Every structure is written in C-alpha cells, then in structure tokens.
Amino acid sequence: MTTLITEATLPAAEAPAPGGRLRLVLSRLTAAKGVLVGGTIVLLLFLLAFGGPFITHWDYATPDYSALRQPPSGTHWFGTNGLGQDVFAQTVRGLQKSLIIGLLVALFSTVVASLVGACAGYFGGWIDRGLTFLVDLLLVFPSFLIITIISPKLKGAGWIAFVVLLAAFNWMITARVIRSMTRSLREREFVRAAQFMGVHPLRIIVRHILPNVASFLITDATVAVGGAVMSETALSYFGFGVRAPDVSLGTLLAAGTDQAPVFPWLFYFAAGLLVLFVLAINLIGDGLRDALDPTTEAARPARTSRSSK
C-alpha cells in the first residue's frame, strides 16, 4: 500500500471484534435500562403466574362458602368474590392464560403480517395481487362470526388453537402498512445494490427490508399484546375461548368492572397486573426499537457513543 491519506482523523478504535449486527444489537439491548426493567417485570409476572398457585392453598374454582365478597385479608390475600372463590388464586390463574395469549398472539400476528406484507411489497406483480386480495378478504370478513363458528370445533385443541385463531384475524392492517413501506424501500439504492450482488430475495427481506420497518413493527406488536388480552376478553364474554370455571385476566376484568366502585379488590388487582404487563412490554419494545435503530444515541453503549463527523 502506498501512502494513502485517510480522509478523517478518526480516533483509533479498539481491536476489531467479529460478530456483526446481531452482537451489536444484543449489546445495545442489554445496555438499555428500560429493557432490563421491562424484562425483569415480565419475568416476575411469569413467576407469579406459575409459582402463585403453589403458595396459596386455595384453588381458583373451589368456593369458600364462609367468605363471600370478603376484602383482602390474611386468609384470602386478594379477597374473595361473590361465589367465595379466592381472588388471588383466580388472578394468578388468569395471568397464566393472559401472559401466554398476549405474547403469542402479538408474536404470531406480527410475524405473519411482516412476512406477508414484505413479500407482497417486495415481489409485486401477481404475488402482490394475490396477497393483497387475501388481506382485503380477511378484512371484510366478520372475524367474530368466523371465530364463533369455528371455536366449538376446536374445543379439544385447547388454548393454542385459540391463540392461532386470534392471531389469524389480527394481522391484516399491519400487513398492509408493511406492504406500502416495503414498496418504497424496494426502490432504495441499498436494496438495489443487494439485488445486483445476487443476494437471495428472501434474504434481502430479512436483512434489509424488515430491519428498516422494525420501528413500526415493534410499536405495533407492543400495542397488539394489550389488544390480544382485551379481544380474548370479548370472546370469553360471549362464551368462547376461556370458559368458566376457567378464568383469564380478561374474564376477571369483565366480571369485576361493574363491581369496582363497591368491591374494588375484584377489579384492581387484575387491572393492575394487566397494566404492569403492558407497561413492561412497552419498555422492552422501546429498548428493542432503539437497539435496532443506530441513529438513537440513548441505547448506544458508552464505548461507541462517539459519532465520527
């Protein structure tokens, strides 16, 4: 090499370390306080949901006829409801359902939405027309009606079928947004460059398109978590999904809403846990978004925080 003048006097950085984007994003993710806090809260919620039943001798379904609508006390930590069932036992049981349903529905619908939307936008032509038609079709179908018709047939399949069903009717609008975002990204030069390098189309979608729409996807997914818990409630209210005597946070809230002014313990414990859950998911989502977006300074680890101008 001859005398080459580098354009800038960049500070000599430390020794090169291989690893690429994944490692960088992970290191930024772990450096973000919000993610740590959010992650801890979610972890604690899971511990409560699955460990809770073992620390109380009350069962969520068995009534205690000696204590009807009792406020929280030493025997019934969260009080009891009108049937004498222990609210703590019910809440942790409901939390189990809602945590899983909320997370999985959001995950499934986001994955489906991003894949369908990105493929439709990226490939265009017949693939686009076919997928857009499917999306439009699902959007005009009354999803509630279909779930009503299908769910009796899925009785035996349990909650996982319910999750799939909820997710299946929850992704279309996101997919449409992703499609239009992809269409503009497709014209960008870095996507062109990848095409000319011979990168496989699916790889371009995963490596270039999706990370560039990640901010929207993450925001959408965090909203979807709360939405899934609530739509599960609506279905449960009509007798689909989670059925009595089984409970979810949604059914507990639905049952406790009108009694909240008089018997607050029936409502506020379930509501508080739901709010805490959604809040924690939001914290994680924000952290993830910042970690994926290199232009945000907040989540950058201190050692690379200096930008070279």
Partner 1 sequence: MITDLIESRDLLEVKELAVDFGAAPAVRGVDLRLKRGETLGIVGESGSGKSVTALAVLGLLPGSASVRGSVRLEGRELVGLPNRELAKIRGNKIAMVFQDPLSAFTPVYRIGDQIVEALRIHQSLDRAAARKRAAELLDLVGIPEPERALDNFPHEFSGGMRQRAMIAMAIANDPDILLADEPTTALDVTIQAQVLDVLRKAQRETGAALVLVSHDLGVIAGMADRVAVMYAGRVVETAGVDELFARPRHPYTLGLIGAVPRLDTGGGPLVPIPGNPAALGDLPPGCPFAARCPLVQDRCRTAEPPLAGTDGHLAACVRADELAERRPAPSEVYPVPTVPPPAVSVPREEREQVLRVTGLTKTFPVLKGTVFKRRVGDVYAVDGVELDIRHGETLGLVGESGSGKSTTLFELLRLGRPESGRIELLGQDTAGLDRAGAHKLRADIQIVFQDPMASLDPRLPIGDVIAEPLLAQHAPRELIARRVPELLRQVGLEPAHAERYPHQFSGGQRQRISIARALAVQPRLLVLDEPVSALDVSVQAGVLNLLQQLKAELGLAYLFVSHDLSVIRHLSDRVSVMYLGRTVESGSVEAVFEQPRHPYTRALLSAVPLPDPPAERARTRVLLAGDPPSPTERQTGCRFRTRCQVYAALDADRRGRCEQQAPPLAQAAPGRDHAAACHYPEA
From the list 6-14, 34-42, 100-108, 112-120, the region that binds partner 1 by CB under 8 A is: 6-14
229 close to 281: Cβ distance less than 8 angstroms: no
How many C-beta neighbours within 10 Å does residue 1 have? Answer: 3
What separation in angstroms does the CA of 309 have from each of 7, 9, 29, 76? 11, 10, 25, 62
Cα angle 6-7-10, degrees, rounded to a multiple of 5: 80
Under the binding rule (CB under 8 A), the answer on residue 183 touching partner 1 is no
From the list 86-94, 147-155, 164-172, 191-199, the region that binds partner 1 by CB under 8 A is: 191-199
Pick the binder of partner 1 from 59, 64, 246, 293 (CB under 8 A): 293
Under the binding rule (CB under 8 A), the answer on residue 292 touching partner 1 is yes
Q: Which two tokens stand for residue 21?
A: 């984007």
Under the binding rule (CB under 8 A), the answer on residue 289 touching partner 1 is no
Pick the binder of partner 1 from 74, 156, 198, 261 (CB under 8 A): 198
Under the binding rule (CB under 8 A), the answer on residue 21 touching partner 1 is yes
Binding residues for partner 1, how many (CB under 8 A)? 45
Under the binding rule (CB under 8 A), the answer on residue 8 touching partner 1 is yes
Closest to partner 1 by CB, 8 or 262: 8
From the list 92-100, 143-151, 163-171, 292-300, the region that binds partner 1 by CB under 8 A is: 292-300
Q: How far apart are CA 155 and CA 301, in angstroms?
A: 49
Pick the binder of partner 1 from 15, 140, 145, 262 (CB under 8 A): 15
Pick the binder of partner 1 from 70, 109, 212, 222 (CB under 8 A): 212
Q: State the minimum distance, in angstroms, from the CB of residue 231 to partner 1.
A: 32
Cα-flanking dihedrals φ and ψ of residue 135, to 5°? -60, -45
Closest to partner 1 by CB, 66 or 307: 307
Residues that bind partner 1 (CB under 8 A): 1-10, 12-18, 20-21, 24, 188-190, 192-194, 196-200, 203, 207-208, 211-212, 214, 292-295, 304, 307-309
